[in-house]
Chains A and B, each alone.
Chain A
Amino acid sequence: MSVLPLEGVRIIDFAQVFAGPACTRILADLGADVIRFESPNRLDVTRNLIITDNDGMDHTWHRASYFIIRNASKRELVVDLAKEEAREIIRKLAATADVVVESFTPRVMANFGLHYEALKEIKPDIIMCSLSGYGQYGPMRDYAGYGMGLEPASGVASITGYKDGPPMRSGLSFTDPYSGFLGAGAILTALQYRRRSGKGQYIDLSEQEAAIPIMGAALAEYQMTGRVKERMGDRSDWAAPQGCYRCAGDDRWAVISCTDDAEFGRMADAMGHREWTDDPRFATVLARRQNHDALDALITAWTSTRDHYDVMRTLQEAGVRAAPVLDGKEILFDPHFKARGQFDTVDQPLLGKRLIPRHVAAKFGRFEAKARSHAPLLGEHNAEVLKELGYSDDEIAKLQEDGSIADKPNLPVPPALIGAALRLPYDRYLEHGILQAIEPDYREQLGIAD
């Protein structure tokens, strides 16, 4: 097996939920030894989300797919930072670490005596990255930030939505992974600097700020023309026609985008309507923008009798940008994502073989940045990590006994109650169209059955 770029780099990962874990998942897949921290009193909330329903609801915290896909390739240490013995473990670990990542609101790390200045005392060249909603200073620094609020806070939602409709969120909190990716790159940049200078540093990443560039030209447009960009559905300032068109089948769609007259001509040809290019309503890009609704109706007449993949193939073979709109099942079967290895098969304790999405998009020649191991069970690596730090078996047993370390959550109610509370009413969701389908034989279909 080839050597990975970050082998020998140790990262203590205090990050929770989505953005931070996406950041450290990238670094773990690149070979870093990422040791996750969790508190037995307050688990990462994602250990409660999307519980795998294969054989019962016990140990729900080991079955949460939301947690698993973000935390593969990592180790985990569960300690109770309220106890001095536990903080001592973290300080010892910090002395061996290269990077610390955290995603609490500001002040939390300082309350534990684990802020950058304190960690720097222990390890002078440490690199620390704080991922937060609004950054470490500024009037909104203490605001609690969830991904579903930070995409709007970055301005992106103000230009997302149907024409004349209200601002909308994306169907998932995508500024979370986006800021996590940026955090990983920031840490890689800091590692380059440390190699040359021997110096560590502190990185303050605000998810709100990180996502502002995604708006593209809108900021410049406002300054240069005075226009506040309006919502325009799937249309574009730079392409016409551009849109999402209904295809054959239940709720199947394809996108098409023609950036110039030549591409529009190829599309008209491929659809068997060369005459569109002579129609004064469509002959130029300005005319097509003005008569977009009429053109969309003509395009839909063609797409609506065709499979969405056929729309892509026919148009792409003719040199026109097009793609099917894929759902959560289709992406797992798509020939492109299969050929490029977007999903790694990982043997997850209690759950068997599962498909874990990549977090590093790049394909390299000399190494592969993929899920290297299953996501850790709660406190799975307590003893292993403590032994590496020089703790004896007796000392570890004592830490376990006094609750400084744990491999079970401290729950105020019986686990079965929590399991029941976490069960989303999928049957009703199906009935109301919140879910499209539930397929009990999905593991057979995916070829990952036991």
Chain B
Amino acid sequence: MPERALDGLQVVDISQGIAGPYATKLLADAGALVTKVEPPGGDYSRRLGPFPGDVPDPASSGLYHQLNTSKRGITLDVSVASGQVVLKKLLAGADVFVAGEKASTLKAWGLSYDDLKADFPDLVVAQVSPFGATGPYAEYDGNSLTAMAMSTIMYNTGEPDREPLATGGEPGEYIAGVQLWIGILATLENRAKNGGGDHVDVAMSDAVACADEYNSAMYGFQGAIRRRYYSRHIFGYPNDIMACADGHVVVIPGAGGFRSPLTPDVVSPMALLLEDPELDNNPVFTGAGERMIRWREFEELVQPYLSTHTAMEIVMTAQALRLPFAFVPTVADLLSDEHLAERHHFEHVATPGGDLTIPGQPFKMSETPLKAAPAPARGSANEQVLAGELGYSKDDLRILSDRGVI
């Protein structure tokens, strides 16, 4: 078996849902031993689905299976004292403890960093919550939508006369998960060099705010407040999704798309694409400010070409002219995409509901590639971990099980 980047790293993860589990998936797929601790009722993501044929079955939730690859699973009720005793035994051998609860909940359970640091001085306690462990909103609840709302991204997404629009999927959860993963790795780096465990506190709201491109900078450097305008980039139109003969394409002229003062006599790549060199003499076409404001007139100039060509024709021709146009695929398109197939992007895992294709690794490492093994069935490692590693007897396990702790 090839070496893995994080061989030997031990992680205990009581987080549920998306953000925390995605962070520990990135550790587990890189070789860390991640013990996923589910409440006896199962991880929250088991209830979210989707389910084969829409028949709810916590064992085969698609979201659960794509977020919990390469982990081993035990069940434990960490909200009661007997569960906390078991958990602390588990933490004795761990490098990292991951939780997705609010600070007050972890404190009530005696599992906050302050509660644990005396007994586990080298432990990294990593926590992801909607608004973080400190600050005026620490006790507030939230999700991807509340994080997107706070970040300025949402205010600037959507049509000017309609409500602001959240980005599809669960961007807040994934951004927070990635930031949690960075925080854990940074702390491990610090521990290796300077010693000692630490507290890692990630707020979903802060994580998404870190992804703001320039909204706060426009105010902090210019006093300008942007608002949503069909999700358009302040740098100009189009740079946007437009309709074509068989769907949509992203029309991006890029830095060299239009006629430049540096090359006044050359037909611009955009005019070449649209097969009309005369466009270079039209101020609505060539002027960035004009395109932004008189965008409806600009659309009239480009529609004859876009509406008579397929996305494939448009993007391939544009890219040949070094215009960074892009496709707008659906999930079905992605699953049959030749480029992604040639890169072996998607991974396939066995689940009780059958084989499932899941999003592949977000980066490819030459020496220690990440790889997903199937997610664990609920409590499938109970005996191995509790009896085999922590020394509980069969009787102990039965008692814990009867009392609903495991």
Contacts and interface: CB of A to CB of B under 8 A. Distances in A.
User: Which of B65, B137, B217 counts the most chain A CB atoms within 10 A?
Assistant: B217
A323 B142 contact: yes
B94 interface: no
A191 B18 CA distance: 26
B329 A209 contact: no
Interface in B314-346: 319, 322-335, 338-340, 342-343, 345
A327 B365 contact: no
B135 A433 contact: no
A30 to B, nearest CB: 5
Given A178-B174, A201-B368, A149 B325 contact: yes
Contact of A144 (B206, B292, B324): B324
A61 interface: no
B384 to A, nearest CB: 25
B171 interface: yes
B180 interface: yes
Contacts of B333: 155
Contacts of B363: 129, 182-183, 186, 203-206, 209-210
Nearest to A428: B293
A301 interface: no
Interface stretch (A84-92, A337-345, A379-387, A389-397): A337-345
User: Which of A144, A243, A354, A435 counts the most chain B CB atoms within 10 A?
Assistant: A144
Interface string A148-170: 11101101111111100011111
Contacts of A358: 206, 209-210
User: Which of A129, A209, A361, A438 counts the most chain B CB atoms within 10 A?
Assistant: A361
Contact of A171 (B146, B194, B228): B228
Contacts of A171: 153-158, 228, 231-232
A216 B63 contact: yes
B166 A65 contact: no
Contacts of B181: 185
Given A177-B213, A342-B206, A169 B174 contact: no
User: Which of A140, A253, A442 counts the most chain B CB atoms within 10 A?
Assistant: A140
B152 A327 contact: yes
B250 interface: yes
B227 A434 contact: yes
Contact of A205 (B225, B319, B362): B362
A218 interface: yes
A272 interface: no
A155 B223 contact: no
B178 A326 contact: no
A225 to B, nearest CB: 6
B202 A362 contact: yes
Contact of B189 (A6, A219, A328): A6
Contact of B190 (A145, A157, A339, A366): A366
A16 B206 CA distance: 24
A162 B250 contact: no
A337 to B, nearest CB: 7
B233 A172 contact: yes
Contact of A220 (B50, B179, B240, B324): B50
A223 B53 CA distance: 9
A174 B211 contact: yes
Q: How large is the interface on A (under 10, 10 to 19, 20 to 34, 35 or more residues)?
A: 35 or more
Contacts of A257: 143, 145-146
A181 B178 contact: yes
B151 A326 contact: yes
A406 B335 CA distance: 47
Contacts of A448: 220
A331 B151 contact: yes
Interface string A8-50: 1000000000100000001000100000000000000100011
A270 to B, nearest CB: 13
A25 to B, nearest CB: 10
Interface in A192-222: 192-193, 195-197, 199-206, 208-210, 212-222
Nearest to A197: B3
B193 interface: yes
Contact of A323 (B149, B171, B220): B149
Contact of B175 (A18, A178, A421): A178
Interface stretch (A107-115, A229-237, A276-284, A287-295): A229-237
Contacts of A224: 49-54, 62, 353, 356
Contacts of B217: 50, 65-66, 68-69, 328, 357
B403 interface: no
Nearest to B209: A342
User: Which of B160, B164, B357 counts the most chain A CB atoms within 10 A?
Assistant: B164
A49 B333 CA distance: 34
Interface in A320-335: 320-332, 334-335
Interface string B193-228: 110101111110111011111111111111111111
B206 A152 contact: no
A168 B241 contact: yes
A192 B124 CA distance: 15
Contacts of A367: 190
A115 B198 CA distance: 37
A362 B182 contact: yes
User: Which of A143, A159, A205, A412 counts the most chain B CB atoms within 10 A?
Assistant: A143
Interface in A286-321: 312, 316, 319-321
Interface string A414-448: 00010001001110110011111111111100101
Nearest to A312: B140
B183 A364 contact: yes
A133 B324 CA distance: 10
Interface stretch (B254-262, B270-278, B373-381): B254-262
Nearest to A337: B209
A3 B185 CA distance: 16
Contact of A362 (B145, B166, B200): B200
A134 interface: yes
B187 interface: yes
Contacts of A134: 339
Contacts of B200: 362-364
Given A53-B222, A137-B343, A155 B330 contact: yes
Contacts of A216: 18, 63, 169-170, 173-174
A189 B163 contact: no
A365 B52 CA distance: 44
Contacts of A204: 363-364, 366
A246 B62 contact: no
Contacts of A62: none
A1 interface: no
A152 B213 contact: no
Given A184-B182, A325-B164, A149 B175 contact: no
A191 B189 contact: yes
A138 to B, nearest CB: 4
A154 to B, nearest CB: 8
B62 A336 contact: no
A369 B182 CA distance: 11
B153 A327 contact: no
Nearest to A46: B214
B192 interface: yes
Given A153-B326, A337-B209, A436-B227, 20 more contacts: A135-B364, A149-B326, A152-B326, A158-B328, A172-B212, A185-B26, A189-B6, A201-B367, A217-B63, A225-B53, A229-B330, A236-B145, A244-B165, A326-B152, A327-B226, A361-B202, A426-B224, A432-B229, A432-B293, A442-B223
5 contacts: A213-B22, A236-B145, A328-B225, A334-B150, A357-B210
Going nearest first, the 8 A-B pairs with the smallest beta carbon separation are: A220-B62, A149-B326, A362-B183, A171-B156, A159-B168, A442-B223, A328-B215, A65-B221
